[in-house]
Amino acid sequence: MKKQLLMISLFCFATIASKANVRIPNIIGSHMVLQQKSTVKLWGWSAPAESITIKVSWDTTTYKVVAGRDAKWITSIKTPEAGGSYSITIKGNNTIKLEDVLIGEVWLCGGQSNMEWSGDQNLPQSKAEAPNATNNKIRFFYVAKSTSAFPQDNADGKWMVCTPEEMMAHLLKHGHLIMSSIIIKS
């Protein structure tokens, strides 16, 4: 009886695993920015040995990759000069469509507590700058605070377009000011 129950459980698990949906990490999403004139990596998870097809709207190339036994897949795609908005379609057992993807310069803002200053901390400079914070060419990937005893393969975060509301709630005052001055000068 135990042996039959084990076999049924294994069969059910294998059936569920073989129908796994394609998933991608949060850093790969709608509103993201990819580095221009480069080769960038896209990766995710699916059923082991599942064929994944990726199409980008900036060219006619079809990228294909097969997930490994560990259910992970990764591929490289080429990006054009700065521009957008573009879309990326990732298809396996299911389809994921990423919209409003920009190609341009990617900057990483990091630091200690001063990098967390957003408009919600009632800083006079943030309140003064927030009404001017509408720029759909500035994107932020906001990562929620979390801790872990071991490395993670995904971050709890999302891409956001720069708006006064997002600046007041999440966005880095310093990052917005730096990116605004770069866009104005270029």
The reported pLDDT for the residue numbered 102 is 96
Nearest alpha-carbon partner for 47 in 9, 84, 73: 73
Q: Residue 182, Cα to own-chain centre: how many angstroms?
A: 23
Which residue is associated with the tokens 């129908």? 19
Which pTM was predicted?
0.78
The reported pLDDT for the residue numbered 146 is 82
- Written as one letter, the residue type at 68 is G
**Residue pLDDT tens, the chain, 186 long:** 566 654 555 444 454 455 689 999 999 999 999 999 999 999 999 999 999 999 999 999 999 999 999 999 999 999 999 998 999 999 999 999 999 999 999 887 766 666 666 666 666 666 777 777 778 888 888 787 788 899 988 988 889 888 877 766 665 544 544 555 455 444
The reported pLDDT for the residue numbered 120 is 61
The reported pLDDT for the residue numbered 87 is 98
Q: Which residues pair with 177 in a beta bridge?
A: none
Q: Where are the domains of the chain?
A: 20-104, 107-186
How many residues are listed for the chain in this entry? 186
3-class SS of residue 31: coil
Distance CA 179, CA 48 (A): 41
Return phi, psi of residue 62, to 5°.
Answer: -110, 120
Distance CA 149, CA 143 (A): 18
Distant-in-sequence contacts of 106-115, Cβ < 8 A, 24+ apart: 106/33, 106/34, 106/35, 107/175, 107/178, 107/179, 109/172, 109/174, 109/175, 109/178, 114/174, 115/172, 115/174, 115/175
Fold for the domain defined by 20-104: Immunoglobulin-like (2.60.40)
